[in-house]
Amino acid sequence: MARVTGRPGDIDSAAIDRAAEVLRGGGLVAFPTETVYGLGANAADGAAVTRVFQAKGRPPSHPLIVHLADAEQLDGWAEGLPAAARLLAERFWPGPLTLVLRRGRRVPLETTGGLETVAVRVPAHPVALALLSAFGGGIAAPSANRFGSVSPTTAGHVRAELGDAVDVVLDGGPCQVGVESTIVDATGEALSILRPGGVTREDLEAALGRPLEVPATSTVRVPGQHPSHYAPRARVVLVEPEQVIAEAERAQESGHQVGVLLPPAFADAEVKAHAVVAVPASMPAYARELYALLRELDQRGCDLIVASLPPEQGLGLAIANRLRRAAGPRPAA
């Protein structure tokens, strides 16, 4: 497996060219985006996309996001761009926004999991953009983790989880947003948010000048909508912020190895638990660190994580969504 470093402002163009060549040959390239690392394949090559599903252990009915270098590339990947979707693309691309549109002729059904719609986004990361322009096509990429587990925000996370299943890992340093893109369905009459993410609901509504729907359940297939997703190995228990310490100490006393995501208001408290991390008070910092903190508590041997939800505004909406799903019911082992 090739290892390539490409810090922002320090792009190794030979490495990018090699990675683009791997994509052309039907191989898999893990690459950094501003949200999380993606596991990329040529979006127009059904066989290459099938390898992504195998590497992730993801059911083939779950659609992938097609990444493009810019909105001008949409031709052939998506059919038509409704006015409201165009406005959002102009305002938020490159950036952590994914638009669900009608499938274009270049997209094989493997990429969309059999759907007649396609998810597209233009990522805001210099390494991702360099790879996209060297490759010259669309790159289908889910997050570069095993299906159901926590998304990777460093190249090290990708290597630890996917190892030799990936042909190349491009290292662009830690992801700056830290939670996945916001997915907006633009195929119906009214736009709706299918998954909260790096672009806030408030920013989308300000750009559109009207409120957006956030359906509690979606009729579209979105794996991120399954109850247990974005989950660490340890079981996650959510309680009110002022109950976190008592709940953690109770569980520790009853024999668990308890990890604690300590709310900012209690950052200085002494907690009798196995591993305690204080969560950042600012939502952008919390979003950036959330997945690394969950991985850290797993690594320190916790079997139970006690946490609370942040206020569900701004990036807090995406953080709360991921914590709820991490705490959701697990499939029987």
Task: Name the site residues for ligand TXA (rule: CB under 6 A).
Answer: 33, 35-36, 38, 62-65, 96, 98, 100, 112, 115, 117-119, 123, 141-143, 180-181, 183, 194-195, 220-224
Residue 153 or 308 with smaller CB distance to ligand TXA: 153
- H or E stretch including 140? strand 139-140
Number of residues that bind Mg ion (CB under 5 A): 1
Binding range to Mg ion, per CB under 5 A, among 41-49, 54-62, 141-149, 316-324 = 141-149
Q: Convert 27-62 into a string of H (helix), E (strand) and C (coil).
A: CCEEECCCCCCEEEEECCCHHHHHHHHHHHCCCCCC
Provide, rounded to whole angstroms, the least separation between the CB of residue 148 and ligand TXA: 10
Instruction: Say if residue 254 carries a ligand binding annotation.
Output: no
Residue 104 or 316 with smaller CB distance to ligand TXA: 104
Question: How far is the first Cα of the chain from the last one, in angstroms, to the nearest whole number?
Answer: 31
Residue 103 or 322 with smaller CB distance to Mg ion: 322
The one among 42, 143, 149, 176 contacting Mg ion by CB under 5 A: 143
DSSP 313: S
Do 312 and 213 touch, CB atoms closer than 8 A? no
* CA pair distance 292, 295, nearest whole angstrom: 5
Distance (Å) of CA 166 to CA 48, 67, 149, 160: 12, 18, 17, 11
| Phi, psi dihedral angles at 41 (to 5 degrees) | -145, 160
Provide, rounded to whole angstroms, the least separation between the CB of residue 156 and ligand TXA: 16
Binding range to Mg ion, per CB under 5 A, among 142-150, 185-193, 234-242, 291-299 = 142-150
Residue 28 or 275 with smaller CB distance to ligand TXA: 28
* CA pair distance 12, 15, nearest whole angstrom: 5
Residue 195 or 256 with smaller CB distance to ligand TXA: 195
Binding footprint of Mg ion on the chain (CB under 5 A) = 143
List the binding residues for ATP.
58, 117, 143, 151, 195, 230
